[in-house]
Amino acid sequence: MDASRSDVLILGGGVIGLACAYYLLKSGATVRIVEQGTPGCGSSHGNCGTITPSHAPPLAMPGVLGVAMRSMLRADAPLYLNPRFDGPRLRWMLGFARHCNWRDFEHAAHARSAILQRSRQLLAALVRDERFDCEFAEEGELYVHRTAKAFQADEQHHAKVLDRLGVVVERLRGDEVESREPALKPGVVGGLFHPGDARLRPDRYADELARRVVAMGGVIESGARIEQIGTQGDRIDHVRTERGVFRGDHVVMALGAWSPLLAKPLGLRLPMQPGKGYSITYSRPALAPRHSLVLREPAVCVTTWESGFRLGSTMEFSGYAEGLNRTRLEALRRGAAQGLHVPEGPELKEEWWGWRPMSVDEVPIIGPSSRWTNLMLATAHGMLGVSMSAATGELVASMMRGGAPSLDPTPYAPSRFGV
């Protein structure tokens, strides 16, 4: 028996790869994950950990490209487009611009909503049934507005979309928001409360998934940076890594923002770009928010756990430029200070950056490759990898193992991009 071969070889050990492994193992497959670092060390580690059916509306809508272009003049803008010339990024932006219309907006919103709502149900059951220690709480998420203009814009382009999608959203007056959330400074004009949202500690969720995958018989090869993907005919034959050569009857590409780089030698052009996000993690302050918050004007997300407190968000398109951008971190601190009585915890724990895998249409790419007969893609989840993880794993397992999918896989199919 070839010890390096498994039924399924998963490339990438973030929450998407781990969730795929979990549901494939449940279906009876043997599974091996190859991960260049450690499980959950990428975008899975430092995001805000919110589980958000409320985030179904995509970023792309008429007018947003103008906002992005103006952001080139402000390095601290919530949505920042680095002015440095970058051919692949420019092609992505032109493709993104073509999706900034109401027809594509509605299509993306429905596709995102379906997988977000299914994943929300699955996540609650997964955490409960597997007894995951990841500070999961179903307390909802609150959007906070300090200007009438921002509140009216969100009511029009966010709340009404959620109404059409069947996602519950409550409109609140400013005094109602302040009553619910004493951590907020006065001056709130209004708010939108999403009672179906939840939160967890994402690094611990990834750790618990990895622990369970191994307990179920899965193998995780950490420190296994991919050096080459070998093919034979129309199949992926092997994957050469720093830890050795591995084979799988089926291969799942769950490499997040690295997916287009590894797909290119296979002749697959994935229309994706890394959207860089930042977060700052503190020990928990004495006056911490009761709910997960989105402070809308500065676009700062705030998540509180028993074990800590995190400020996050921002979207920076700078290609594959690595490293912390101090201007972006200070914008998070400044935005939190505008809205919270206590905007920072007593001890700084971590300053973090990570790449989110952004598809050109803001819909994840999940399904079989039209080029390679044993390759499945599970990537391009944007800012919603944690939120979409469980439903993605379930969908991949059902498509690969022959079960009836709980979701219509059509909107996520790689074939829409010819890959």
142-188 confidence digits (pLDDT tens): 999 999 999 999 998 899 999 999 999 999 999 999 999 999 999 99
Structure token digits, residue 216: 């179920």
Residue 107 pLDDT grade (very low, low, confident, very high; cuts 50, 70, 90)? very high
CA nearest 199: which of 386, 377, 360?
Answer: 386
Give the per-residue pLDDT at 1. Answer: 44
- Alpha helix (H) ranges present in 27-140? 43-46, 64-71, 87-98, 102-129
CA nearest 390: which of 135, 133, 116?
Answer: 116
- Least confident among 7-16, 284-293, 395-404: 395-404
Whole-number Å distance between alpha carbons of 255 and 91: 21
**Segment (H or E) for 274:** strand 272-282
Give the per-residue pLDDT at 82. Answer: 75
Q: Are 314 and 328 in contact (CB under 8 A)?
A: yes
pLDDT above 90 for 18: yes
250-303, pLDDT tens digit by residue?
999 999 999 999 999 999 999 999 999 999 999 999 999 999 999 999 999 999
pLDDT above 90 for 70: no
The pLDDT of 235-248, averaged and rounded, is 96
The pLDDT of 388-404, averaged and rounded, is 94
Give the E-state strand segments of 115-269 in sequence order: 141-145, 170-173, 190-194, 198-199, 219-221, 226-232, 235-241, 244-253
Work out whether the CA dihedral 104, 105, 110, 116 comes out positive or negative. positive
3-state secondary structure of 185: coil
Give the per-residue pLDDT at 71. Answer: 60
Q: Are 262 and 11 in contact (CB under 8 A)?
A: yes
Mean pLDDT of the residues in the chain = 94
Q: Are 371 and 233 in contact (CB under 8 A)?
A: no
Whole-number Å distance between alpha carbons of 154 and 160: 9
Q: Are 202 and 386 in contact (CB under 8 A)?
A: yes
pLDDT above 70 for 73: no
Whole-number Å distance between alpha carbons of 88 and 93: 9
Give the per-residue pLDDT at 238. Answer: 97
The pLDDT of 96-119, averaged and rounded, is 95
81 residue type, one letter: L
Give the per-residue pLDDT at 331. Answer: 92
